[in-house]
Amino acid sequence: MSSVIASSVAEHHPGPQTQERGQRAVFCGLTSIIWLHRRIQDAFFLVVGSRTCAHLIQSAAGVMIFAEPRFATAILGERDLAGMADCHEELDRVVSELIARRSGINRLFLVGSCPSEVIKLDLETAAAKLQVKHENRVRISAFSGSGIETTFTQGEDQCLKSTIAELPALEASKENLIVLGTVSDIVEDQFRRLLDELDIKDVHFYPGRKAGDLPAVGKGTRVIAAQPFVGETARALIARGANLISAPFPLGAEGSKAWFESVAEAYGVDSQRTEQVLELPYQRAKRAVSVHRSKLEGKRIHFLPDSQLEIPMARFLSEECGLGINEVGTPFHDQLVMRAELARLRKDVPMVEGQDLDPALARVRASRPDLTVCGMGIANALESEGLRTKWSIELVFSPVQGFDQAGDLAGLFAKPLAREDILEVGSWS
Amino acid sequence: MELTLWTYEGPPHVGAIRIAASMRDVHLMLHSPQGDTYADLLFTMIEREGQRPPVTYTTFQARDLGSSTAEMVVNSLRECAERFKPQVLMVADSCTAELIQDQPGALALGANLPVPVIPLEMAAYTRKENWGAAETFYQLVRGLLSRQAPPPGTERPPRDVNTMPSVNLLGPTKLGFRCRDDVVEIERLLRSMGVDVNVVAPLGASPQDLQAIPKADANINLCPEVSDLTCSWLARTFGMPTISTIPMGWGATRDFIAEVAAVLDLDINVDAVGESRLPWYSRSIDSTYLTGKRVFVFADGSHAIAAARVARDEMGFEVVGLGTYSRERARDVRAAAKEYGLEALITDNYLEVEAKVQELQPEMVLGTQMERHIAKRLGIPCAVISTPAHVQDYPARYSPQMGFEGANVLFDTWVHPLIMGLEEHLLHMFRDDFEFNDSVGPSHLGSEGEGSRAKGSPDDSQSDDGAVVWAFDAEKELKKIPFFVRGKARRNTERFAFEHGLTTIEVDTLYDAKAHFSN
């Protein structure tokens, strides 16, 4: 892995690690559409799947019908499955209907689902054919968000990976930086200001706000992940010559500082200059986090596997907020993007990859942590047993990256505990 | 292939989960990939359930396909039986599992499990959630009761007049609309009639309870979306009569009491059973402003039909549109619509519903959460009367839709979103006041009303067909009409102009149209 700009610290987590296989309680990759369609403002996501897919997305999104959404489902019917209707012709009809309706769409993603994968519907070929038909009007491609291949945030990785071949080649003499993974607009703006102060030019956030914001990639490209679920995309960029900067994720004051320092170091920015630029936001972030520290210090937290953010969150909470980590569950373990995180995580933290729901819940019940980070389906079930919880999906939807969100991030975890202290109604235990 | 933006119903296996989650001591083993576990949150988040539904998902992955998925089914079944020790284990496929044809029902029956198994066929690619709930409830009841069935043709013995008459309340489920409170209200109503409630199912029932169903004298088909199939099977097999009036609204509640009395052969004075404030509230002078309010009704079949009746007969509204998303109830809704001189809108495409609302420009929408969003965008008041519902439709307070208290609740919740009578009067008086102008919505709707109008509702925009032009003075005059009727005035005037071959609308055209449409 010579193309990874390695950090000098030890890479793997020597602590207790186990793998579990059994019932999982994690959304499928289609869920990523919820934040991807808001980030890429001129993209449309057409799931080719079943009524379940449509119901999943609208339920996970909390039925946010503010307008006609930029995602939809082409629901497969009996005729499609029995081969009475040609799926490609049907898709052609549905896509034409969609494009006629939505004039502002510049990019259409056909999104594979469990049913479309099982019947081996080749959406990439379908997208290529449709592209010919709608050339000069809309760019069409495909990726899979199916639950038999992807979990929750992995949908974004599959989406981004599917676009890497389209990125233009970077001229040999040039350098650029790709910040990988969806962040909110406000986080992007803050990061741009700091990178600019560090004199790092030609910075691209990917995915960008517009589908046409395609950064060039080549030997002079450096990539840094802003989210922990972009491993496959990072590999695809490495395959195109890019160098991956290994760093902790920009969560919390320390995580953000280490993230910016890693970029600066890769660019050979003078370390004194780096410190000078980062000092003010770093101190501000520390102050903001410290506000919540009294609520969090000494508490024990348990992560059930969900968003892939579990490891960096555990690192932030133990390093900066003084929490004890009961267990870190993660749907899967990607060493490539996680190595700098693991180096900072306490060695005695038990890590579990994969899931077997009932035994996992039994461990939570047995150890009764102060806070459990879990999916929405499980939270109230634990709350009713007197256990405080935090929805992991909020960590994906809310702007939490960077110095100026560090306090908000700590606050997200402090709030359920503060609520327990405030309420004088009923009993939580 | 059908293009769907938002769906009114989930897939049929969600209906099966609703039945399992409604009951005690049953468990559902669902052969499905991990994404399908989202169904848990429907219960724990939308209905604030304190426990996961009693479902085990196999959560097979791509790597399991072709080799071990059938084995996963058998292992899951064994674990379910061992861990949860249900009285009955139901087994079903979700949409993806249906395609790989592992036949989990057959596997379960052949697995020698220490628990009775009910296999379910969910037909994921042709059916939807309510069908799935109805089918699951039916299979469960039939599976548990068919051994008790008397030989075909057996006459049901007449009711023992020395015992208290009794009925079953069939149909209420988790994630139904106000089922929790409707059950309480109807039980209370029946008790006051001297009628015992034998079994309530599926909500709160165990498989053992279901076995007592034939002991009652009749079945109340309270939520036909779920219980129709079961009630007709019980009628055929056990000769149990079905009581099918949905007691929603004052009149229907009285009809329900009369039907219960007739079926059970009871001598009951309807007036003595109970009363509602709705009749007086509706006759009170303040309610005059409700007269002829144009309402659009769209819901599941039974709520749509019941709401239309309350809207016209008990609130004095004019029903200008009636429809349902449930194709299983289409025939009933079509028949009901005819009574209002309407063609029923039968569709599960929310864009069609939106187009219809836009075309009709009603003054109020009675619908589902989908219609609430449509109405919000169009700046039309709305009350939610049916599923699909959201967390706010599962209120903390007692809030039934059925029975006499239900009628009170309907009156309050339907009147609330409307501009109050006095307020409407004040709007006319003060419409030029700087604090009381068009951009300020009805005060009690807060920023919601303002927001939707501030963005520019379609009412305020010049119509784009270009056939008829508004003269400057006429346009100015139109602006003086209160915003909540302006859309209708614009539409009517344009239609009038079009029908009379006019190309320009003058001030006089506006008033000619007003005169034309007011009679």
Judge whether residue B450 has pLDDT over 50.
Answer: no
Tens-digit pLDDT profile for residues A333-380: 898 999 999 989 888 899 999 999 999 999 999 999 999 999 999 999
Arithmetic mean of pLDDT, B484-502: 85
pLDDT digits (tens, 9 = 90+) for A165-222: 999 999 999 999 999 999 999 999 999 999 999 999 999 999 999 999 999 999 999 9
For A30, nearest residue in chain B (alpha carbons): B35
Q: Interior CA angle at A394 toward A389 and A400, to 5°?
A: 115
In a domain, A429, yes or no: no
Beta B294-299 vs B2-4: how paired, if at all?
unpaired
Same domain for A88 and A128: yes
Q: Are residues A339 and A244 in the same domain?
A: no
What is the identity of the amino acid at A194? L
Q: How high is the ipTM of this complex? A: 0.93
Question: Using 50, 70 and 90 to split pLDDT, how confident is the model at B515?
Answer: confident
pLDDT of residue B236: 96
Determine the distance in angstroms separating the CA of A178 from the nearest CA of chain B, rounded to an integer.
31
Do the beta carbons of residue B13 and residue B122 sit within 8 Å? yes
Q: What is the pLDDT of residue A8?
A: 39
pLDDT tens column, B266-305: 999 999 999 999 999 999 998 998 999 999 999 999 999 9
Residue B247 shares a structural domain with residue B291 = no
Lowest pLDDT segment from A33-42, A227-236, B221-230: A33-42
**Could you tell me if B397 and B469 lie in one domain?**
no
List the single residue in B1, B14, B42 with the smallest CB-CB distance to A90: B1
> Is residue B237 in some structural domain?
yes
Residue A260's nearest CA partner among A409, A395, A405, A402 is A402
Task: Please indicate, yes or no, if residue B144 is contained in any of the structural domains.
Answer: no
Decide if B60 touches A, using CB distance below 8 A: yes
Average pLDDT (B325-341) is: 96
Contact in structure between B124 and A119 (CB atoms under 8 Å): no
Whole-angstrom CA distances from B464 to B461, B467, B498 are: 8, 8, 14
Does residue A10 surpass a pLDDT of 70?
no
Catalytic residue list contains B265: no
Residue A280 located in a structural domain: no
Q: Is B65 on the interface with A (CB under 8 A)?
A: yes
pLDDT over threshold 90, residue B421: no
C-alpha A251/C-alpha A255 separation (Å) is 5
- Bridge partners, residue A221, by sequence: A176
Range of the domain at A178: 166-273
**Exposed, middle or buried, A88 (CB in 10 Å: 0-12/13-18/19+)?**
middle
In chain A, the residue whose alpha carbon lies closest to the alpha carbon of B47 is A380
Residues B54 and B81 in one domain: yes
Chain A nearest-CA residue for B55: A23
- Residue A326 sits in the same domain as residue A350: yes
Q: Is residue B315 part of a domain?
A: yes
Our CA dihedral for A227, A230, A231, A237, rounded to 10 degrees, sits at -120
Residue B440 lies in a domain: no
Q: State pLDDT tens for residues A117-159.
A: 999 999 999 999 999 999 889 999 999 999 999 999 999 999 9
Task: Kindly state whether residues A296 and A418 are assigned to the same domain.
Answer: yes
**A209/A323 same-domain check:** no
> Which of A242, A273, A304 corresponds to the end of one domain?
A273
Q: How many helices (H) and strands (E) does chain B have?
A: 22, 16
A114, A120, A146: best to mutate for the B interface, most B CBs within 10 A = A114
CATH of the domain at B369: 3.40.50.1980
- Inside any domain, residue A328: yes
Q: Are residues B259 and B375 in the same domain?
A: no
CB contact under 8 A, B38 and A149: no
- From B71, B97, B127, the end of a domain falls on B127
Beta bridge partners of A139: A107
- Cβ-in-10-Å burial (0-12, 13-18, 19+) of A127 comes to buried
Q: Can you read off the two tokens belonging to residue A318?
A: 């133990």
3-state secondary structure B211-273: CCHHHCCEEEECCHHHHHHHHHHHHHHHCCCEECCCCECHHHHHHHHHHHHHHHCCCCCHHHH
Rg (CA), chain A: 22
Same domain flag for A262 and A317 = no
| Domain stop point among B273, B299, B319 | B273
- CATH number where A44 lies: 3.40.50.1980
Q: Which two tokens stand for residue A236?
A: 């695809």
Does residue B410 share a domain with residue B306?
A: yes
Res A11: pLDDT: 52
Q: Considering its fold, how many domains does chain A have in total?
A: 3
Could you report the per-residue pLDDT of A78-110, keeping only the tens digit for each? 999 888 788 899 999 999 999 988 888 999 999
Q: Which region among A361-375, B15-29, B55-69, B352-366 has the lowest average model confidence (pLDDT)?
A: B55-69
**Residue A62 contacts by C-beta under 8 Å, 6 or more apart in sequence?**
B390
Residues B365 and B302 in one domain: yes
Q: Which CATH number do you get for residue B462? A: 1.10.8.550
Largest CA distance in chain A: 69
Q: Examine the domain organization and report whether A183 and A259 are in the same domain.
A: yes
Our CA-based measurement puts residue A291 at a distance from the nearest CA of chain B, in whole angstroms, of 30
Closest CA to B469 of B451, B494, B439, B445: B494
The reply to whether residue B35 touches residue A27, judged by beta carbons under 8 angstroms, is yes
Partner A contacted by B369 (CB < 8 A): yes
Write the pLDDT tens digit of every residue in A288-329: 999 999 999 999 999 999 999 999 999 999 999 999 999 999
Instruction: Inform me whether the C-beta atom of residue B95 falls under 8 Å from chain A C-beta atoms.
Output: yes
Last residue of a domain, one of A87, A120, A150: A150
**How big is chain A, counted in residues?**
429
Q: What is the pLDDT of residue B454?
A: 38
**In a domain? residue B149:** no
Q: Is B288 helix (H, G, I), strand (E, B) or coil?
A: helix
| Mean local confidence (pLDDT), B449-465 | 42
Residue of chain A nearest B61, judged by CA positions? A148
Whether B125 sits inside 8 A of A77 (CB atoms) is: yes
Q: Considering only CA atoms, which of B197, B156, B193 is closest in space to residue B267?
A: B193
pLDDT higher than 90, residue B478: no
Q: Is residue B433 part of a domain?
A: no
Establish if B432 belongs to a structural domain: no
Q: Is residue A238 part of a domain?
A: yes
Nearest to A114 among B33, B51, B369 (CB): B33
Banded model confidence at residue B463, pLDDT cuts 50, 70, 90: very low
Q: Is residue A33 part of a domain?
A: yes
Is the same domain home to B52 and B105? yes
Under DSSP, the state recorded for B43 is I
Q: Are A56 and B42 within 8 A, CB to CB?
A: no
What's the distance, Cα to Cα, between the start and end of chain B in Å?
47
Same domain, B175 and B305: no
Residue A250 shares a structural domain with residue A306: no
Asked if residues A145 and A30 have their Cβ atoms less than 8 Å apart, the reply is: yes
B457 lies within 8 A of chain A by CB: no
| Arithmetic mean of pLDDT, A9-26 | 76
User: Nearest C-alpha of chain A: how many angstroms from B448?
Assistant: 12
- Write the residue in A56, A77, A148 that is nearest to B1 by C-beta: A77
Angstrom distance (rounded) from CA A146 to CA A148: 5
What is the percent of chain B with per-residue pLDDT over 90, rounded to a whole number? 74
Question: B17: domain range?
Answer: 12-127
Task: For the beta carbon of residue B246, count every other beta carbon within 10 angstroms.
Answer: 25
State the residue for tokens 């959201």.
B390
* Higher per-residue pLDDT: B180 or A13: B180
**Res B72 pLDDT > 50:** yes
Residue A400 lies in a domain: yes
Q: Which of A63, A81, A67, A25 is nearest to A354 (CA)?
A: A25
Q: Is B350 domain-assigned?
A: yes
Q: Is the pLDDT of residue A429 over 80?
A: no
> Where does a domain end: B248, B273, B298?
B273
Whether residues A87 and B388 touch (CB distance < 8 A) is answered with no
B42 & B61 share domain: yes
Nearest by CB to B96, which of A29, A31, A118? A118
| E strand or H helix that includes residue A110 | strand A107-112
Residue A283, CB-side half-sphere exposure with 13 Å CA sphere: 5
Q: Which bin fits A386, alpha (ψ -120 to 50), beta or left (φ > 0)? A: left
**CA nearest to A126, candidates A79, A80, A169:** A80
Same domain, B75 and B100: yes
Best of A55, A144, A384 to mutate (most B CBs within 10 Å, chain B): A55
CA-based torsion, A312, A315, A316, A321: positive or negative: positive
Q: Rounded distance, CA B494 to CA B506, Å?
A: 11
DSSP E strand stretches across A3-70: 4-5, 17-21, 43-49
Interface touch B125/A114, C-beta < 8 Å = no
Phi and psi at residue B330, in whole multiples of 5°? -60, -40
Question: Do B263 and B319 lie in a common domain?
Answer: no
Q: Identity (one letter) of the amino acid at B212? A: A
Asked if A73 lies within 8 A of B4 by C-beta distance, the reply is: yes
Of A67, A75, A375, the CB nearest to B1: A75
Q: What is the mean pLDDT of residues B85-106?
A: 95
Question: A307: which 2 tokens?
Answer: 């968003």
Pair A54, A131 in one domain: yes
DSSP string, A361-416: HHHHHHH--SEEEE-HHHHHHHHTTT--EEEHHHHHHS--BSGGGHHHHHHHHHHH
Element (H, E) at B370: helix B369-378
Euclidean distance between CA atoms A344 and A247, whole angstroms = 11
Chain B closest CA to A189's CA: distance in Å? 27
Which tokens hold the place of A308?
Answer: 């892939």
Residues A305 and A375 in one domain: yes
- Which of B40, B267, B286, B332 is flagged as catalytic? B286
B458 pLDDT more than 60: no
The number of domains in chain B is: 4
Q: Check pLDDT > 60 for residue B129.
A: yes
Position A142 in a domain: yes
In this structure, are B225 and B298 located in the same domain? no
DSSP state of B174: T
Residue A37 maps to a domain: yes
The answer to whether residue B14 neighbours chain A at the CB level (below 8 Å) is yes
Task: Please answer yes or no on whether B9 and A51 come within 8 Å at the CB atom.
Answer: yes
